Structure 1
Amino acid sequence: MNPWTLSVLLLLAGPLGADPGWHVEYPDSFCVVEGSTATIPCSFTHPAGLRVGRVVWCPNLQFCQRLAANVYDSKIVRADRKFRYLGDLVRNCTLKIIKTVKRDTARYRFHFETNGDGYTGPKGVIVNVTNGEDVKVRSSVTDNVVKEGGQVTLTCTSACSFHRLDVHWYRNGHALSETGPALHLSNLTNDDTGNYTCSLDSSGQKTSAPWSLVVVEDEGRFDWRLTVSVVVKVLLAVFLLLLAGLVYAKRSAPGPEHEIIYSEVVG
């Protein structure tokens, strides 16, 4: 075996005769919609007793050795924050890609170096960035009309499978605080009525067609707020009637002057 082939095998499999604990785990491939922000889940292991000092992500390279081609290198401070490392130097090697574009399509590999040796995850993960897919809102209910107190789950979908994408939700064009592929609405009230849309990034460039939700009153549902309101109004009406009766009675009662006149007539 020539020295070059041996070097390749060492980089792929870890140091010669080393513990088989050298490993990088990430999905085989997935696609993301252009303009969205995606996260590549990743984890790594190495033999016990070693300490990681450097982590690297690179596209379309077998061993992540060309510094200029690396999209992330923990030893280099880059002004471009498009590729963000969400992992650590222990086990997590997750990478986030901000606002993907077509040229981000590549096979990405993770490489780490310890105080003993280095290792590159050989298979890598293929990221396909596509455009033109329709982003849609799907509902857990078949009817857009839901009774008060009910619940509905809205899901943001596209032709691509979602791998921890940043999904933003809107009602009548106003951003909601909830994020993620699924929006759970429970204990519905009339305030939840509106047109719901989802977007794959905060800019709203990839926004779905609206899905309309109408929340109607449930006639068979006990509304304690309405009951309290009715009771208060009835008590107020009774109080006003009693007050009016007292005022009328006071005005109708004979005063001192009437008593004197009556006494003089009798006398």
Structure 2
Amino acid sequence: MAAYHKIILWSISVFLTAAEKASVIHPFTSACAVRGSTLTLPCTFTPAKSFIRDGKRVPLKIIRVGWCQNHEICQDFFTSVYDSDSENNDPRYQYLGDKKANCTLQITDLQPKDDATFRFRMQADDLEGHFTNRTGVKVTVADGTKLWIKGSRDNRTFSGGEAASLLCTSTGCTFHQLKISWFRDGRPLPESGPVLRLGPLTAEDSGNYTCALETNINTQSEPYSLQVEAGTAEGGQGLQDNLFWIFYVVFGVLLAVITLILVVFCIKRKRAAAEVQSPAGGERHQKQADDIYSSIMPTEENGGNRANVTSREVEDVSYASVQFRHNKQSRHVEEAGDAIIYSSVATRG
């Protein structure tokens, strides 16, 4: 039974030790940068927290970190480029990490001697906590004289109003945090960085462009000739502006014409309404009433007092219809009044 318990304890200790095993992680294991540029090597690590000694758990604490070149385990930081315990580190190597989890290293002003494999090592307060990532990161330093410019398209002739981008690069090498200076016809430009973006292009953007490392002007690339011609882009913009103004003028003229027509129409309607209510209109109605009155005057055929009585009665009816009806009565009402008058004459004849 005692042997069985020992096996269980040994299995648990092995499991815990494996779970707390130190590790180092690099996002990439190789990198290429141009001489004189800046290169950053991202890195994270997980230290061992403790270990088992004589059946007891012993805690661990990281007390020293560093990077070295080419040495497989960086023992005692042999050929080190950075040592947290040293005060004489090369300022070109800047440690951006800590002693807990971050082990990032930044290399500035890359030199040919930096063409090597870089490895990270951690040391604890006990030998059991020491660890070096043997894989490391292989760094390749490219000759800066190989810089050249790649345009956003093969044709180096652009039309006015278009956009263009120029990439400063080196054959077979990927840039990391590359600091670049740009020139046009030998004069420096305010822009910096691997990519130069231009646009909308004008004739003033035509010229010979070159790029170089900020730290070494001698790395200037071969000229890239860019030509800007007045093309469809500028012409199209001018045409759009002209169409806008034409539309604006035509719209204004149409609005003025429509407004004038409405004003004239309103004036005519007001004049027509005034004519209907004018005294001349009243005289016209009065004349119609007089015509009605004259049509029922007694004739020789009617004769006698009886005709006179009928005339007076009809006259009364005529005056009544004229006196109590509005001047604006419709023709239909007038015709109805005439019918009443004639019917009265017929019944009293």
Q: TM-score band (shorter)? A: 0.5 to 0.7
> CA-to-partner distance for each residue in 1:155-190, whole Å, 9 max, x for gaps?
122123224142413122344444333222232334
Paired residue type of 1:17: A
In structure 1, the residue matched to 2:24 is: 23
In structure 2, the residue matched to 1:36 is: 36
In structure 2, the residue matched to 1:208 is: 221
Paired residue type of 1:23: V
Give, in angstroms, the shift of residue 20 of structure 1: 4.5
In structure 2, the residue matched to 1:221 is: 237
Give, in angstroms, the shift of residue 89 of structure 1: 4.3
Give, in angstroms, the shift of residue 149 of structure 1: 2.5
1:40-59, aligned counterparts within 5 Å?
A: 40-46=40-46, 53-59=63-69
1:1-267, aligned counterparts within 5 Å?
A: 16-20=17-21, 22-33=23-34, 35-46=35-46, 53-67=63-77, 69-78=79-88, 80-113=90-123, 117-131=129-143, 134-172=146-184, 173-217=186-230, 218-222=234-238
Give, in angstroms, the shift of residue 91 of structure 1: 4.1
Give, in angstroms, the shift of residue 223 of structure 1: 9.3
Paired residue type of 2:37: T
Q: Percent same amino acid among aligned pairs?
A: 31
SS in 1 for 2:196: strand
**Do the aligned partners of residues 73 and 143 (structure 1) sit closer, same or farther apart at CA in structure 2, a change above 3 Å counting?**
same
Q: Distance in 2 between matches of 1:177 and 1:38?
A: 20
State the TM-score, normalized to the length of structure 2.
0.51
Q: Distance in 1 between matches of 2:102 and 2:200?
A: 38
> CA-to-partner distance for each residue in 1:50-93, whole Å, 9 max, x for gaps?
87553311001122233462111223223631222234445443
Paired residue type of 1:166: L
**Do the aligned partners of residues 106 and 80 (structure 1) sit closer, same or farther apart at CA in structure 2, a change above 3 Å counting?**
same
Q: Distance in 2 between matches of 1:109 and 1:89?
A: 16
Select between 112-121 and 73-82 the one with higher mean Cα deviation. Answer: 112-121
SS in 1 for 2:113: helix
Give, in angstroms, the shift of residue 46 of structure 1: 1.1
**Do the aligned partners of residues 106 and 47 (structure 1) sit closer, same or farther apart at CA in structure 2, a change above 3 Å counting?**
closer
SS in 2 for 1:128: strand
Structure 2 unaligned residues grouped into runs of 5+: 1-15, 50-59, 242-349
In structure 2, the residue matched to 1:6 is: none
**Do the aligned partners of residues 104 and 41 (structure 1) sit closer, same or farther apart at CA in structure 2, a change above 3 Å counting?**
closer
SS in 1 for 2:221: coil
In structure 2, the residue matched to 1:11 is: none
Q: Distance in 1 between matches of 2:142 and 2:154?
A: 30
**Do the aligned partners of residues 189 and 124 (structure 1) sit closer, same or farther apart at CA in structure 2, a change above 3 Å counting?**
same
Structure 1 unaligned residues grouped into runs of 5+: 1-14, 226-267
Give, in angstroms, the shift of residue 122 of structure 1: 1.7
Give, in angstroms, the shift of residue 208 of structure 1: 0.9
**Do the aligned partners of residues 133 and 79 (structure 1) sit closer, same or farther apart at CA in structure 2, a change above 3 Å counting?**
same
* The structure with more strand, counted as a fraction of residues: 1
Select between 100-109 and 176-185 the one with higher mean Cα deviation. Answer: 176-185
Q: CA RMSD in A?
A: 3.3
SS in 2 for 1:66: helix
Are the aligned partners of 2:38 and 2:179 in contact in 1 as well (CA < 8 Å)?
A: no
> CA-to-partner distance for each residue in 1:1-48, whole Å, 9 max, x for gaps?
xxxxxxxxxxxxxx9535246222142223334x32241422213169
Q: Distance in 1 between matches of 2:163 and 2:102?
A: 36
Are the aligned partners of 1:26 and 1:40 in contact in 2 as well (CA < 8 Å)?
A: no
Higher alpha-carbon Rg: 2
Q: Distance in 2 between matches of 1:90 and 1:160?
A: 36
> CA-to-partner distance for each residue in 1:124-169, whole Å, 9 max, x for gaps?
1112334386221010122222223211121122123224142413
Paired residue type of 1:110: F
